[in-house]
Chains A and B, each alone.
Chain A
Amino acid sequence: DADVTQTPRNRITKTGKRIMLECSQTKGHDRMYWYRQDPGLGLRLIYYSFDVKDINKGEISDGYSVSRQAQAKFSLSLESAIPNQTALYFCATSDPNPVAKNIQYFGAGTRLSVL
């Protein structure tokens, strides 16, 4: 089983719909992240959470919200989806222990299309 699991893997939705992307992990890491990937732009950070009570905006948080339901679960919501939110979304986790070098481990991604 994957250490970082994203559901769904693919989703097509319509403009204006609310959609939730889910991420769960079995790595026992405190830190979790949401990124989006657009062609030619690499990955950009949407939100991150360093523990259940800590939520922080990344560089492109507008139009998104998150919920950290437990150490192992971190969900990303699009309250009212728009076509330019069509992208590949990644969840990642990391261990804050300096020995772990804050290496981020990624899920397989969710490909979202907003029509």
Chain B
Amino acid sequence: AQKITQTQPGMFVQEKEAVTLDCTYDTSDPSYGLFWYKQPSSGEMIFLIYQGSYDQQNATEGRYSLNFQKARKSANLVISASQLGDSAMYFCAMRERSIIQGAQKLVFGQGTRLTINP
């Protein structure tokens, strides 16, 4: 079963508009973490924001915020006042505890390609 689902393969947004990138997840582990990464055309993976399953408030980092709806199992990334430099692939990822190995690994979604138009 898909652990992380990103339903938007691509999005096009006008510069300065806000944009929401969708992410839903599936886990039975009560303790988990949710991450968003940005991958520009140069290829590197850049950490953006983190939300823990027990965090009471939605995470924010500058222009990035995470709309965490635990009951719906969604963790959408909101970028306010988009900029041309925000054009990139965006990946949602989840860390859950592996019952077998007692380890914590990241599982990634397939990504959303965001294009900011001037």
Interface residue ranges, A against B (CB under 8 Å): 33, 40-45, 48, 50, 56, 58, 88, 90, 92, 101-109, 111
B91 touches A50 (CB 8 A): no
Question: Interface SS of chain B: helix, strand, loop or mixed?
Answer: strand
- How many residues on chain B are close to A (CB under 8 Å)? 24
* Contacting residues, chain A, for B108 (C-beta < 8 A): 42-44
Q: Is the CB of B106 within 8 A of A50?
A: no
9 contacts between A and B (CB under 8 A): A43-B106, A45-B105, A48-B103, A48-B105, A90-B45, A102-B104, A103-B35, A106-B44, A106-B47
A interface majority secondary structure: strand
Bound Cα distance A56, B103 (Å): 10
A104 touches B43 (CB 8 A): no
Known: A58-B105, A102-B33, A104-B106. A42 touches B45 (CB 8 A): no
Is B68 at the interface (CB under 8 A from chain A)?
A: no
* Bound Cα distance from A33 to B104, whole angstroms: 12
Q: Which residues of B contact A41 (CB under 8 A)?
A: 110
Q: In the complex, are the beta carbons of B33 and A42 less than 8 A apart?
A: no
Cα distance, A40 to B113, chains bound together (Å): 11
Judged by a CB distance under 8 angstroms, whether B50 is at the interface is: yes
